[in-house]
Structure 1
Amino acid sequence: MDYVAVESSPRFVELKRKHRSVVFPLAVLFLVWYFVYVLLSSFAPDFMGQHVWGNITVGLLFGLGQFVTTFAITMGYVSFANRRLDPISSEIRQELEEQEKR
């Protein structure tokens, strides 16, 4: 199997481009959101300690928001991969399996 040729094929290049077009922006967005949370908790304790409702503080809401965004990003990526990436990768896999049989 000529893996270098497969990697440079138009379909594989398209697959990598689509993957990167989603993964890199999502990773940057999440890292910025995470570091904002860490920096606010370190340098703005009064803001993070403000009570929103009862004993619920802004910091607690931001911390719980980290979990929510992690799950949202994961679900969004899985949906994207199922719709956009998996069909292309299945085509590539099928072509490779047919080549291997020859």
Structure 2
Amino acid sequence: MAVSDEGEDPVRQRESRAYEAVHQAADFTELKRRYRNFVVPWTIAFMAWYLAYVACNNWARDFMSHKVAGHINVALIFGLLQFVSTFVIAALYGRFANRKLDPLASGLNAKYKRERRR
């Protein structure tokens, strides 16, 4: 394998240039912005919901032990809703990614491949 004057593999140089070109693209900045705008609020919301569940289990025992139907109490419902909320957020993210992130990512991937061939 030939090594350039700079001591770096030419294939590695092409890949590095391609990565830099993609990294500097406006679409890459937009992709990161869209991702953050989805992930940060949902992470905060989920963590608040989870911490509320933990806090209620620790300090609102009367409320959490309230029977809803038979042996089913509020704590059990809250626990199950933790799983439900996880799946709902995952589904929302999948839908969001398909509509808003994947088109940008596909374009950036194509740009990366074009730049690598140069």
Residue in structure 2 matched with residue 97 of structure 1 by the alignment: 113
**Ranges of 4+ aligned residues in structure 1 off by more than 4 Å:** none
Give me the TM-score of the superposition, normalised by structure 1: 0.95
Write the distance in 1 (CA, Å) between the matches of 2:60 and 2:46.
Answer: 20
Task: Supply the AA of the counterpart residue of 2:87.
Answer: F
> Identity percentage over the alignment?
43
Cα drift, residue 9 of structure 1: 1.8
Task: Supply the AA of the counterpart residue of 2:76.
Answer: L
Residue in structure 1 matched with residue 61 of structure 2 by the alignment: 45
- Unmatched runs of 5 consecutive residues or more in structure 1: none
Which is higher, the Rg of structure 1 or of structure 2?
Answer: 2
Cα drift, residue 8 of structure 1: 2.8
Where relative contact order (Cα < 8 A, 6+ residues apart) is larger, the structure is: 2
Write the distance in 2 (CA, Å) between the matches of 1:10 and 1:76.
Answer: 25
Total equivalences in the alignment: 102
Q: Does 1:85 align with 2:98?
A: no
Q: Which one of 56, 73, 94 corresponds to residue 72 of structure 2?
A: 56
- Unmatched runs of 5 consecutive residues or more in structure 2: 1-15
Q: Which one of 27, 31, 51 corresponds to residue 11 of structure 1?
A: 27
* CA RMSD, 1 decimal: 1.0
Residue in structure 2 matched with residue 24 of structure 1 by the alignment: 40
